[in-house]
Each structure stands twice: as C-alpha cells, then as structure tokens.
C-alpha cells in the first residue's frame, strides 16, 4: 500500500489558547481552510473525543475522528475512507512562539489515489496543502485574536518546516 508520511509545522506568534481554540472549533474551519476543501461536521462532542468530520478534497472523501486530546498540547485523529491511519496536532510553547505541528502517517486505500501516487508525490501535495492551511490559520488569528500576537521581533526561527517521507 502507498503511504503519506509528513510532518509540517509553523511557528505562530499567538497565545497557545487562541491557536488551540481555532483548531478545535470546527465552525471556524471555512474561515481558514482552503476553499477547495469541503468540511461536514458529522458529530461534535463536548470533550472532542469521538468528534467526527467528513472531508472532501479533490473530489475524494475521507473521515477524521478525534481519539485523544491533551488540551493545548496534542490532538490525535484517526482517518478512514480513502485513507487509513493517524494525524496528530502538536502545540509546543517555545521562546519564539508556539510551534504548531501536524503529522500524518496514512495508508492510501483508494485504488485511483494509490495509482496517482506513482506519478505525483502525495507527501508533497499534503505538505503544500498544510502550508496553505497554516497560512489560513495565521490570517484567521490575525483577524480574530484582538491584538494578542506576541512580539514578532523576537522570532529568529524560520516560520515553516516540512518533513515528508516516501
């Protein structure tokens, strides 16, 4: 089976609570996710465990269900549908801001997507989509954090980092 292995991150200069709250508030996703991706909230629970989204991207549908939450630290998601595996959000406080990371380890279950992966690097496509998502999240925070950004003059690290596997 073909896989998508990727770790993408962005250092954001906002309070960790604002970043985390944007990630767990599914209703805000249309404001900061790529407009080509359709999100349908199937189930939302108070503690987020078992909350489930239906995602449609590139005319292919898959599901994401939250299985573990450590508030302001980690969110683990199980994928099903055209992909099987896990995705994990990490939130790490550092001297230069909050390092927000998303790591996926997915097996491609769809025949056509698997076939497509022999021609196109799915890891690179995923990372490109995550870069757009991080840009959208940062713009959303700029517009909705009431001036709660941290002093950007201290940020000496590169803001974007991506690791992809074969």
Query: pLDDT tens-digit profile of 76-129?
Result: 999 999 999 999 999 999 888 999 999 999 999 999 999 988 999 999 999 999
1 pLDDT above the threshold of 50: yes
157 pLDDT above the threshold of 90: no
Residue ranges of domains in the chain: 3-32+67-164
Q: Which residue has the tokens 């767990």?
A: 24
63 pLDDT above the threshold of 70: yes
| Bridge partner residues of 90 (DSSP) | 74, 101
Question: What is the model's pTM?
Answer: 0.86
- Place 149 in a pLDDT band, splitting at 50, 70 and 90: low
| Bridge partner residues of 61 (DSSP) | 56
Measured from the Cβ of residue 4, the count of other Cβ atoms closer than 10 Å reads 24
Topology given in CATH for the domain delimited by 3-32+67-164: Alpha-D-Glucose-1,6-Bisphosphate; Chain A, domain 4 (3.30.530)
């Amino acid at each position: 089976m073909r896989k998508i292995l990727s770790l993408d991150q962005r250092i954001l200069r906002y309070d960790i609570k604002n970043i985390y709250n944007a990630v767990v508030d599914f209703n805000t996703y249309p404001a900061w996710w790529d407009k080509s991706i359709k999100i349908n909230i199937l189930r939302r629970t108070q503690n987020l465990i078992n909350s489930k989204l239906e995602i449609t991207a590139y005319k292919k549908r898959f599901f994401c269900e939250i299985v573990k939450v450590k508030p302001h630290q980690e969110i683990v998601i199980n994928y099903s549908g055209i992909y099987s595996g896990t995705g994990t959000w990490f939130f790490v406080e550092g001297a230069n801001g909050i390092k927000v990371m998303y790591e996926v380890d997915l097996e491609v279950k769809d025949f056509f997507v698997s076939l497509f992966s022999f021609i196109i690097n799915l890891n690179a496509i995923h990372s490109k989509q995550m870069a757009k998502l991080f840009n959208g999240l940062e713009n959303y925070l700029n517009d909705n954090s009431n001036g709660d950004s941290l002093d950007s003059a201290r940020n000496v690290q590169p803001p974007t980092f991506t690791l992809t596997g074969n």
